Amino acid sequence: MNTTPQPDPRDRPARLTVGVVGAGRVGPALAASLQLAGHRPVAVSAVSDASRRRAEEMLPDVPVMPPAEVLERSELVLLTVPDDALPELVAGLAETGAVRPGQLLAHTSGRYGAKVLDPALRAGALPLALHPAMTFTGTPVDVQRLAGCSFGVTAPEELRLAAEALVIEMGGEPEWIAEENRPLYHAALALGANHLVTLVAQSLELLRTAGVGAPDRMLGPLLGAALDNALRSGDAALTGPVARGDAGTVAAHVAELREHAPGTVAGYLAMARATADRALAHGLLKPELAEPLLGVLAGPSDAAGGTGDTPGDAS
């Protein structure tokens, strides 16, 4: 349930025409959610066949056109391109005169704040950084997932209410992020979400190799409980052989991984070291057990440059 206080109606933006530059997984979902709030998507840019299909599914009857024409039609423009492409896109749109004074320009990059939109600001645009802290599938289910989703919001102080109102209208909850903290904020999300997918995928593969017929069914309850415990209790939720200091068990893990899945050894060792450090710092791992455990974790891997494998093994 969205518990964020609703803005005063006087602070809500008027119903806007909305354009999307970049029909990846994020842009069409945000535009569709704004449509549910009464705004009107009027144009979308899409290059690949996949993005065109996505735009057609999520925003039916909204015409596909070049970015400059999207800006020409739109009062609010969502710039939903990859992070590395954003600065060049903004500079190009500003240089060609596509940006209009008073136009709301909102990007969805986690890495950047509002400053990346400075070229558009100089052209008179109103800059917003609205990053949904959510993973997207590129399907209509994404619109439902925005309910209660936190957004990292960065904007000039005078646009703060408008930015937060747009987020709330999309079903999200605004979280103000200072300009200088955007890279750290984004790193935190990537560390938690992106790396989690890698860890789960590796775990699924290992369970299949071990003969488990339904690894997803086995992992689901376990990982759900672990996530819930971690969110509630932080480091106090640490458990398992590393937190207990079972050096022999960890050594057996490493040996099995080297034999059956050498590409996972580096990640296992890195996460085990981090877990040991946190468990030791929080009094969960007894100091007398930490030394032999860390000896196992610092064994042959350090001789190979700390990776656990010789160069190229992970490929």
Secondary structure of residue 138 in the 3-state scheme: coil
pLDDT of residue 7: 47
pLDDT at 300: 57
Task: Give CA–CA dist 37/194, Å, rounded.
Answer: 30
The pLDDT of residue 13 is 56
Per the DSSP assignment, residues forming a β-bridge with 151 are: 132, 174
| Residues found in the chain | 315
pLDDT at 81 over 60: yes
CA distance 119 to 94: 6
pLDDT of residue 126 exceeding 60: yes
Decide: 20 and 70 in contact? Cβ < 8 Å: yes
Burial code (b: 16+ CB inside 10 Å, e: under 16) for 112-137 equals bbbebbebbbebebbbbbbbbbbebe
Which three-class secondary structure state does DSSP give residue 162?
helix
Mean pLDDT of the residues in the chain: 91
20-29, 34-43, 210-219, 292-301: lowest mean pLDDT where?
292-301
**Mean pLDDT value of segment 234-255:** 96
DSSP secondary structure code for residue 64 in this structure: B
Mean pLDDT score, 2-20: 64
The rounded distance, in Å, linking the Cα atoms of 272 and 89 is 41
Residue 309, token pair as written in the block: 């494998």
pLDDT of residue 221: 97
Q: What is the pLDDT of residue 299?
A: 58
pLDDT digits (tens, 9 = 90+) for 156-212: 999 999 999 999 999 999 999 999 999 999 999 999 999 999 999 999 999 999 999
What is the rounded CA–CA span in Å between residue 149 and residue 199?
23
Q: Letter for the amino acid at 173?
A: E
